[in-house]
């Protein structure tokens, strides 16, 4: 029997209109306004635009010539690669391991998810203490092991590694929960049939778990790629203003620096537009490369 719930369209529009108005005011209008701002001259927050730039694409031309923007894009690409390998890859490994243990699943799920619920500001301050040059926990541990000389973990040679470690550590649990949920949806009958056919645990992982997780992994990859483009809070706490020597700027932190520290609101708007464009392009590429399949 067909349902009559959708025959009357009026109640549907009544509930959709408030949500549409809310999104228009707080999402669509600011986004369009930001695009317009990127072509105008705005020298401070809350100040009116002085008109359109001459030429109108001046901010985008400046961006091409800006060495800090090139550093930000290079670091963001490194962040994307590290995210795919260190977050999604590690989360997949942990999910497969936890799914194959008999006891303690809830314990490990809680432990791995815990960093997500901790404030990024608190984590940034915590890792600042760990990586301190003098009396930092890591340098003290190296001294105990007999290494001579302190390492400045925030100099230009170690800065990106110092930044990547806490970012990867924080978000592994996020993808872990998604992947472990995907594993829980796989029918136990498939594993039972594989056992009857003599398949080992490793064969079950490679021929059942991973293939049936493909669509979930695709979703994680797209989230990781787009998330790496806009990561901001933890890197900014650890390396405000891109220090040292602007070597740790990411697209998100550089946009914030230009907008709030340098008062180049129009330039910051242009960077924001580029972040959105890069996000769309990279998500489309990832979607094509890891196209979801029907099983």
Work out the mean pLDDT of the chain and round it to a whole number. 86
Residues 269-276: what's their mean pLDDT?
A: 92
Dihedrals phi, psi of 40, to nearest 5 degrees: -105, 175
| Between 3 and 212, the higher pLDDT residue | 212
Task: Report whether 249 contacts 268 (CB < 8 A).
Answer: no
Q: What is the pLDDT of residues 44-70, one digit of tens each?
A: 777 778 888 888 889 999 999 999 999
Q: What is the pLDDT of residues 69-106, one digit of tens each?
A: 999 999 999 999 998 888 999 999 999 988 888 777 88
Measured in whole angstroms, how far is the alpha carbon of residue 217 from the centre of its chain? 15
| Between 7 and 264, the higher pLDDT residue | 264
pLDDT at 1: 47
Domain ranges of the chain: 54-289
pLDDT at 6: 61
With a cut of 70, say whether residue 244 has pLDDT above it: no
pLDDT at 3: 56
Dihedrals phi, psi of 290, to nearest 5 degrees: -120, 55
Closest to 279 measured CA to CA, from 213, 218, 210, 231:
231
| 113 pLDDT tier (thresholds 50, 70, 90) | confident
| 294 pLDDT tier (thresholds 50, 70, 90) | low
Tell me the C-alpha distance between 203 and 79, whole Å: 32
| 274 pLDDT tier (thresholds 50, 70, 90) | very high
Residues 160-166: what's their mean pLDDT?
A: 88
What CATH number labels 54-289? 1.10.3720.10
CB neighbours of residue 68 within 10 Å: 15
| DSSP code at position 44 | S
Which region among 93-97, 126-130, 153-157 has the lowest average model confidence (pLDDT)? 153-157
Residues 171-193: what's their mean pLDDT?
A: 89
Task: Report whether 77 contacts 228 (CB < 8 A).
Answer: no
Angle at 124 between CA 237 and CA 67, to 5 degrees: 40
Predicted TM-score (pTM) of the model is 0.83
pLDDT at 73: 92
Measured in whole angstroms, how far is the alpha carbon of residue 104 from the centre of its chain? 29
């Amino acid at each position: 029997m067909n349902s009559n719930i959708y025959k009357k369209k009026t109640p549907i529009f009544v509930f959709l209109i408030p949500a549409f108005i809310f999104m228009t005011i707080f999402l669509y209008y600011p986004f369009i306004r930001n695009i317009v701002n990127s072509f105008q001259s705005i020298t401070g927050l809350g100040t009116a635009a002085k008109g359109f730039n001459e030429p109108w694409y001046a901010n985008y031309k400046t961006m091409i010539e800006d060495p800090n923007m090139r550093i930000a894009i290079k670091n963001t690409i490194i962040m994307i690669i590290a995210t795919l390998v260190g977050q999604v890859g590690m989360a997949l490994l942990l999910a497969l391991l936890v799914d194959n243990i008999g006891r303690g699943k809830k314990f490990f799920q809680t432990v791995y998810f815990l960093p997500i619920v901790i404030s990024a500001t608190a984590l940034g301050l915590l890792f600042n203490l760990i990586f301190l040059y003098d009396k930092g926990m890591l340098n003290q541990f190296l001294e105990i092991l007999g290494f001579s000389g302190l390492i400045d973990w925030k100099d230009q040679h170690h800065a990106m590694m110092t930044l990547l470690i806490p970012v990867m550590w924080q978000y592994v649990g996020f993808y872990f929960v998604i992947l472990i949920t995907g594993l829980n949806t796989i029918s136990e009958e498939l594993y039972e049939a594989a056992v009857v056919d003599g398949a080992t645990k490793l064969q079950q992982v490679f021929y059942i778990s991973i293939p049936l997780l493909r669509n979930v992994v695709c979703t994680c990859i797209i989230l990781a790629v787009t998330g790496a483009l806009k990561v901001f809070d933890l890197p900014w706490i650890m390396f405000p203003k891109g220090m040292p020597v602007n070597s740790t700027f990411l697209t998100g932190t550089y946009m914030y620096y230009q907008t709030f520290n340098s008062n180049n609101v129009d330039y910051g708007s242009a960077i924001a537009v580029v972040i959105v464009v890069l996000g769309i392009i990279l998500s489309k590429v990832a979607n094509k490369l890891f196209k979801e399949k029907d099983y």
